Amino acid sequence: MKKKIIGIIICMMLIATVLPVAGELLKSKTKNVMENFNIILDEYPLPPPLSVDMVLEESICRRMSVRSFTGEAVTDEELSTILWAAYGYTENGNRSIFNPDGTYSTIIYVIRSDATYKYVPENHSLSLFKSGNYLHLGQYTPPIKFGLVWDMNAESDEMRGMAGIGMIGQNIYFDANALDLGTVTTAISVEDLYQLGIPSNEKPEIIMSLGHPSSPYDFTYDPLPASNLPAVVDNTLSLENAINNRLIIDIWDDIPLSLLEQSQLMWSSYGYSYLVDNVNNKRHRTLPSAIAYYPFKIFTADHSGVYQYLHSTHSITEILQGDQREQIKNCIEYNNIMIDTASFIIIPCLDTNIGSSQYLKLWYYENGAIIHNVLLEATALNLSANVIYDISNEAGLRSALGLSSQTNLLPLSVVPVGNPSTSPNTPPEKPDINGPTSGNAGTSYPYTFTSTDSDGDQVSYYIRWGDGGTTPWTAFQSSGPPGYSGSHTWILQNTYIIEAKARDIFGTESDWATLSVTMPKNKLYINTPFLQFLENLMQRFPLLARLLTASSV
């Protein structure tokens, strides 16, 4: 055993000091090296995402489907940017998409010519799933395909899972276009993904292609026709910042929104682009349809009444006079969300006369895209939002909207929007962190995090483990004991600083709490993927293998 350890150590020293190629691998500059030497690692980190400074509204307007691609490769930096936007973690510990129950049930398979990988959001890396070229699966011939798969173990409701995939799809569209790449949503031949040998608890839902468009983008600014709504305008917030700064809250100040704010929100949900696509001679919609038509009707409610958004003319028509927000609240399972304090409510309804129930899960995909656009546009307007999926009384909700006779309308979600409450609110206390302060590398250790909120508000916890690993904002729970329990394994010998903070349901955050943890330096732990990498490397470099063998004798 000692000889093997000595051999491994010598091999590591040789890699770091003698072989520039291996040194580059260990510095995470892996792609070119792997291509040049045909080495496939079990897992490697992606480079930091590129900055995408295109304003949000332009990103929405440029959203379009691309079905023909050049042979030019997608760089690791571009792939990193799109995967982060699709399903990564934001600067404040949120996910780039939003699920009100904190469940994220999508698995993204990244299919490339060398192999198929899984995207690992927790450390922003790719994990090898299957070697070989599977780009023939599904439609079209891009350099990369994303297989968006529903994990039944993570979420039992397929429709909610599809709503999350719809949000992911939007961010892939937005970032791909902003980087002058192209993508398309396809629901045809998704069963091909079973050829990858995915687990039985996973179900393929959508395949998205990614590559450089065969025809470069060519847009002309052409404002939407005048109507009883203000024209769509660009705000200053970039797409990247909108994803990073999205704020979800449960209570609002009951202050009416301006007509321009309402116009922007309705347009983002289901409108037409203010850019004309000169390649295809058309305006695109603000969201895709997996089967090429749009069966939703968008209804809104505020202090004055209920209105329908008419996307073809970017206008509204009154359905019912009077404040119906309390009646809407009574028809949904709103938990802690004070929906009647939201000054504006958006309700997407599927018209089942147009959208067959045969494609219900695809309509939930589109519903997720609608919700996501509203959440991002609300952020650009310095507003806050939330979403409710549980509609307990569909008939009652139609009645509250003045649509009792239109039983063909199926409400799929309720999206409250408004100005955050300015009522006095005390932030939670800095969490207490309890757990071991020393241990052995490679061993999992338990910790508890407890914060008390003096207002009695529920709290959520965000944890940094000191080695790059994070636990993003947990589900909300009662303040005080028992708190949140989690565990972590440190791979390397070192001293780490655990950091944790709490926030309440209004988004107010505590200060950071810290705890120092030391992994003794008399222990050695090397993970299996790295040992496999050494084995692959020695096969490529016989001289290194001979040196290692000699050192182990």
Q: What is the pLDDT of residue 534?
A: 52
* Greater pLDDT, 497 or 34: 497
What is the arithmetic mean of pLDDT over 112-135? 95
In this predicted structure, the answer to whether residue 158 has a pLDDT above a threshold of 70 is yes
Q: Give pLDDT, residue 22.
A: 42
With CA atoms as reference, report the closest residue to 295 among 375, 345, 366: 366
The structure's pTM equals 0.77
Please provide the size of the chain in residues.
Answer: 553
What is the pLDDT, as a whole number, of residue 472?
79
Residue carrying the six token digits 């914060």: 451
Q: Where in the chain is the domain with CATH 3.40.109.10?
A: 43-211, 220-420
pLDDT at 16: 45
Q: Is the dihedral of CA 26, 27, 28, 29 positive or negative?
A: negative
What's the pLDDT score for residue 521? 52
pLDDT score recorded for residue 539:
52
pLDDT number for residue 290 = 65
pLDDT band at residue 474, thresholds of 50, 70 and 90? confident
The first and second tokens of residue 148, run together, are: 């968006």
The domain defined by 220-420 folds into: NADH Oxidase (3.40.109)
Grade residue 135 by pLDDT with cuts at 50, 70 and 90.
very high
Task: Find the distance separating the first CA and the last CA of the chain, reported in whole Å.
Answer: 12
Q: Which CATH superfamily is domain 432-518 in?
A: Immunoglobulins (2.60.40.10)
Above 50 in pLDDT, residue 522? no
What's the pLDDT at 122?
87
Distances (CA, A) of 304 to 219, 235, 345, 402: 38, 26, 12, 13
Residue whose token pair is 């379009």: 64
Confidence bin at 547 (pLDDT 50/70/90): very low
Least confident of 130-134, 297-301, 418-422: 418-422
State the pLDDT confidence band at 536, using cuts at 50, 70 and 90: low
Tokens representing residue 347 in the block:
């309700």
Backbone angles phi, psi at 277, to 5 degrees: -80, 110
CA distances to 155, 160, 414, 458 from 476, rounded to whole Å, are 18, 19, 21, 6
pLDDT of residue 103: 86
Amino acid letter at 495?
T
Confidence grade of residue 527 (pLDDT, cut at 50, 70, 90): very low
Mean pLDDT along residues 477-505: 90
pLDDT band, residue 142 (cuts 50/70/90): very high
Nearest to 246 by CA among 170, 315, 307, 316: 170
Say what the pLDDT of residue 506 is.
74
C-alpha to C-alpha distance for 268 and 318, rounded to whole angstroms = 20
Name the percent of the chain lying above pLDDT 70.
Answer: 86
- Please tell me which of 33-42, 490-499, 529-538 the model is most confident about, judged by mean pLDDT: 490-499
CA angle 63, 127, 68 (to 5 degrees): 30
Work out the average pLDDT over 66-89: 96
> Which of 346-360, 365-379, 455-469 is the most confident on average?
365-379
Tell me the CA distances in angstroms from 391 to 31, 269, 295, 531, one per residue in order: 48, 20, 20, 52
Q: Which fold has domain 43-211?
A: NADH Oxidase (3.40.109)
How confident is the model at residue 541, as a pLDDT?
53
* CATH 2.60.40.10 domain range(s) in the chain: 432-518
Q: Which residues contact 68 (CB under 8 A, 6 or more apart)?
A: 140, 213, 214, 215
Orientation of helix 542-552 relative to helix 528-540, angle to 10°: 120
pLDDT over 70 (residue 31)? no
Which pLDDT belongs to residue 387? 96
Q: Quick one: tokens of 102?
A: 């904190």
233-243 confidence digits (pLDDT tens): 999 999 999 99
Percent of the chain with pLDDT over 90: 70
